């Protein structure tokens, strides 16, 4: 039996030296390290001197790089969305949600369904003849070209997208009505707005508009109540209703799901609107039109933006979205989303505003 043992031993040893081809992925390590070093310097990341966090961030950065490669590989046309490094690329998905998004928006949004200002557009269109307006809207409307859209702002680490988007719509509506654009105070809304709004810790467009209308509160000029990007004590003095500024007279909080032509009609004939969206897939967005991979479910809403127009004449018809992550994010602060399939939940909860 000893010869069998020797034979087995020789076989095992021989196998150890056989050249068996094994498929492995490309080694990105050295290239990734150089990219990360450049990334940390570009965004002046605070963890440069912390070896432990530096290493953890590098691993998250590498996951973003592989995801970016995957998403860019799925592009169907030159106009399709493309992805690359952003200020969020060293974050895990969970951290991105917690730092830049508001995952409680679906819960907040449900309380507005059925309210007097919430409209199911299949019912409302019969009253306002929106189907006729939808059939006759211009192929392209870009309110930026009319000079009624303020510069892109940055909310920083303050979770008040709800205040930024709402105030920006009021700015636009004031400019349409009065012929001049004036910056209004987002910080006033962060500090003072009630009705379950919690400053930088969260809020929602419909609750803010309901509060503004019910209290007859005025939105002050930006210079009178400057942006700090943190929640402070409200600095308004005296009776709120007597404070000078811009007041709203009415608003809607609408669902345009399955009737996006009517949303286009509203944009064309009324003006820019504020909308709740799902921005989870925007973490590494650089530009182009989002056509896929952006869940539209009401339960996935987590951010608020201003819709400033649309272009139906483009190869890929799309909405023009003004974001609040600064002018260096996306396409100079803007994002483009294809029309027609409620991508990113763009049609779930949309608010139009009327002002005095």
Phi first, then psi: give them for residue 79, nearest 5 degrees. -85, -10
Closest CA to 200 of 237, 228, 170, 239: 228
Tokens, residue 109: 């949004």
> Is 28 part of the annotated catalytic residue set?
no
Strands 248-251 and 334-338: unpaired
Does residue 30 come out as left (phi exceeding 0), alpha (psi in the -120 to 50 range) or beta? alpha
The residue behind tokens 């369904």 is 113
Catalytic site residue from 278, 284, 323, 348: 323
Pick the catalytic residue from 119, 121, 158, 161.
Answer: 161
Q: Examine the residue annotation and report whether 303 is marked as an active-site residue of this protein.
A: yes
Query: Angle 76-81-85 (CA atoms, 0-180°, nearest 5)?
Result: 125
- Three-state DSSP class for 15? helix
Contact 291, 343 (CB under 8 A): yes
Q: What angle do CA 128, 265, 312 make, to 5 degrees?
A: 155
Q: Which of 206, 303, 342, 348 is catalytic?
A: 303
The DSSP output letter for 222 is: G
Positions marked active-site: 161, 303, 323
């Amino acid at each position: 039996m000893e010869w069998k043992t020797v034979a087995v031993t020789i076989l095992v040893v021989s196998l150890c030296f056989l050249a068996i081809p094994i498929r492995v992925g490309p080694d990105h390590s050295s290239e990734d390290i150089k990219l990360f070093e450049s990334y940390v310097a570009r965004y002046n990341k605070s963890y440069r001197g912390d070896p432990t966090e530096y290493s953890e961030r590098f691993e998250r950065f590498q996951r973003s790089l592989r995801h970016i490669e995957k998403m860019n590989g799925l592009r169907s046309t030159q106009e399709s969305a493309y992805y690359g490094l952003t200020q969020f690329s060293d974050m895990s998905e969970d951290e991105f949600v917690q730092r830049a998004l508001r995952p409680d928006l679906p819960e907040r949004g449900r309380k507005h369904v059925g309210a007097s200002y919430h409209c199911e557009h299949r019912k409302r269109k019969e009253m306002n003849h929106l189907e006729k307006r939808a059939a006759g809207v211009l192929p392209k409307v870009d309110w930026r070209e009319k000079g009624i859209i303020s510069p892109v702002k940055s909310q920083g680490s303050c979770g008040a997208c709800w205040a930024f988007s709402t105030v920006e719509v009021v700015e636009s509506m004031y400019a349409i009505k009065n012929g001049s654009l004036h910056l209004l105070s987002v910080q006033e809304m962060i500090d003072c707005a009630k009705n379950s709004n919690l400053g930088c810790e969260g809020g929602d467009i419909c609750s803010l508009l309901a509060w503004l209308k019910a209290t007859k509160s005025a939105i002050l000029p930006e210079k009178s109540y400057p942006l700090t990007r943190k929640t402070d004590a409200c600095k308004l003095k005296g009776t709120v209703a007597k404070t000078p500024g811009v007041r709203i007279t009415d608003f809607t909080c609408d669902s345009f799901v399955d009737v996006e032509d009517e949303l286009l009609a509203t944009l064309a004939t009324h003006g820019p609107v504020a909308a709740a969206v799902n921005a989870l897939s925007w973490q590494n967005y650089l530009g182009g039109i989002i056509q896929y991979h952006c869940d539209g479910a009401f339960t996935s809403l987590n951010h608020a933006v201003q819709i400033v127009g649309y272009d139906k004449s483009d190869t890929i018809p799309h909405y023009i979205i003004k974001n609040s992550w600064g002018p260096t994010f996306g396409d100079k602060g803007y994002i483009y989303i294809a029309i027609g399939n409620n991508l990113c939940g763009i049609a779930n909860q949309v608010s139009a505003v009327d002002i005095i």
